[in-house]
Amino acid sequence: MRYIWQHIEALLQYDGRLPLTHYLKNYFRQYPKLGSRDRKLLSAMVYSYYRCRKALVMPDANLEEVIRVALFLCNNPEKHTAAFLPSFPEAILSAPVEEKMQFLKERGIELNIPAIFPQQLPLSEGIKNEAWLLSMWHQPQLFIRIRKEKSAVVKKLTAENIAFSFVNDHCVALHNGTSVDKILPADWYVVQDASSQQTGSFFQPKKKENWYDCCSGAGGKSLLLKDLEPSVTITVSDVRDSILHNLRLRFNQYGYSAPKSYTLDVSDASQLKLQLGSQQFDNIIADVPCSGSGTWARTPEQLYFFDPEFVTEISKRQTTILHNIADKVKPGGKIFYITCSVFKAENENVVAAAIKDTSLEIESMQIINGLTNQADSMFIAVLKRIV
């Protein structure tokens, strides 16, 4: 098993620039002799390392010991990891993380939880710092939104012996890595995080309304809106042309005609004016670019290599976007400002800056705390145009 430790040493040369999942794929491509079990084990080791390394106070430990403790904290024993977990009693290997921490403490391994995120940016109301930090130690669940044939979905998942649970009427939680695409017809469901699904409960669209999704990405929120009220007309924009192409394919896949779309940088007021002219909309979804800190349990490398300068920059862009779209919504209409960040700087502070010199007022704002469901966390502010 020496080769595993050699690969780990090589893998930890990673510098955080590529998404970790791409980096691992590229790495494994260079070593075709590594079997699927080795790849799973190495991935679990690397992910566990970035999840909790900064919290482990183990000054005299070698890399092998650190990795074993990280695996222990961030994973329950599975076939591919079991042999590499420390030789602790069986029961503690699948115990809750608080018990595991206590167990380590009793054996002289201290944990410094705040060190996981030394930048210590203030979090939005409704999310507790320690709970957020500890959530980084586990991969969140996979969620689907059932669009149709609910009882057939249940039947198929049950027949395939897939573990699942309902979060609400349409939201199903599954183990991460479940290949739902091999089991369910593509138009019966959408893969969408539970908190992202929950943003839909704020939209309350009325028949035939005209909506604008200004940072639409591949259309997760637009499709949610369309499924809530198929008669709405949606216009979408994104700075990336390729993602708008994906959005159009998805709309067609789900039986909708492709919406009017613009490739455009909404932080640039002149581009917005040039392309949209004087159009106004009943409501706008602004699911803006952000740090993604509410989703870092899926991408712990972003937590590990985080540069706070990014939040300073992105919050300026978020404020500019809100300013630019403020008069694109009709008086009485609403802007749904959404981020998948837990930082105040991208949430409450941006909203406060944007309402200062626009005719928007805050109807509500809150964190959608995903921690209890092992989901992502998001922020949504409902901003109403008053004149």
Ligand X SMILES: C[S@@+](CC[C@H](N)C(=O)[O-])C[C@H]1O[C@@H](n2cnc3c(N)ncnc32)[C@H](O)[C@@H]1O
Of the residues 135, 139, 261, 267, which one makes contact with ligand X according to CB under 6 A: 267
Our CB check for ligand X shows the closer of 267 and 369 to be: 267
Q: How far apart are the first and last CA of the chain?
A: 69
Alpha carbon 19 to its chain centroid, in Å, reads: 14
Q: Which stretch binds ligand X (CB under 6 A): 20-28, 166-174, 264-272, 276-284?
A: 264-272
When computed from its CA atoms, the radius of gyration of the chain, rounded to whole angstroms, is: 23
Of the residues 61, 217, 227, 299, which one makes contact with ligand X according to CB under 6 A: 217
Q: Which of 52, 74, 171, 340 is catalytic?
A: 340
Our CB check for ligand X shows the closer of 193 and 282 to be: 193
Would you give the DSSP letter of residue 280?
-
Minimum distance, C-beta of residue 243 to ligand X, in the bound complex (Å):
5
Q: Tell me if 287 is assigned to a ligand binding site.
A: yes
Query: x-or-dash pattern for ligand X, window 284-323, by CB under 6 A?
Result: ---x-x----------------------------------
- Residue 154: φ, ψ to 5°: -60, -45
* Structure tokens, 319: 């404020």
Q: Tell me if 268 is assigned to a ligand binding site.
A: yes
Q: Which stretch binds ligand X (CB under 6 A): 77-85, 89-97, 109-117, 259-267?
A: 259-267
Residue 273's nearest CA partner among 324, 199, 337 is 324
# binding residues, ligand X (CB under 6 A):
17
Which residue's Cβ has the minimum distance to ligand X? 220
Residues 258 and 358: their CA atoms lie apart, in Å, by: 32
Contact between 200 and ligand X per CB under 6 A: no
Alpha carbon 236 to its chain centroid, in Å, reads: 21
Which residues have a Cβ under 8 Å from the Cβ of 355 and sit 6 or more positions away?
361, 362, 383
Contact between 215 and ligand X per CB under 6 A: yes
- Residue 345: φ, ψ to 5°: -60, -25
Residue the block writes with tokens 């074993």: 68
Which residues have a Cβ under 8 Å from the Cβ of 215 and sit 6 or more positions away?
237, 238, 239, 266, 286, 287, 288, 289, 321
Our CB check for ligand X shows the closer of 37 and 240 to be: 240
Q: Tell me if 213 is assigned to a ligand binding site.
A: no
Residues across the chain = 387
3-class secondary structure, 29:
helix
Our CB check for ligand X shows the closer of 24 and 289 to be: 289
Contact between 269 and ligand X per CB under 6 A: no
Is 171 a residue of the active site?
no
Minimum distance, C-beta of residue 289 to ligand X, in the bound complex (Å):
4
Q: Which stretch binds ligand X (CB under 6 A): 79-87, 232-240, 299-307, 372-380?
A: 232-240
Our CB check for ligand X shows the closer of 69 and 303 to be: 303
Query: What are the angstrom distances between the C-alpha of 304 and each of 5, 39, 153, 232, 300?
Result: 21, 22, 38, 42, 6
Active site residues: 340
| Binding-site positions for S-adenosyl-L-methionine | 238, 268, 287
Which stretches of the chain bind ligand X, using CB under 6 A?
A: 215-221, 237-240, 243, 265-267, 287, 289
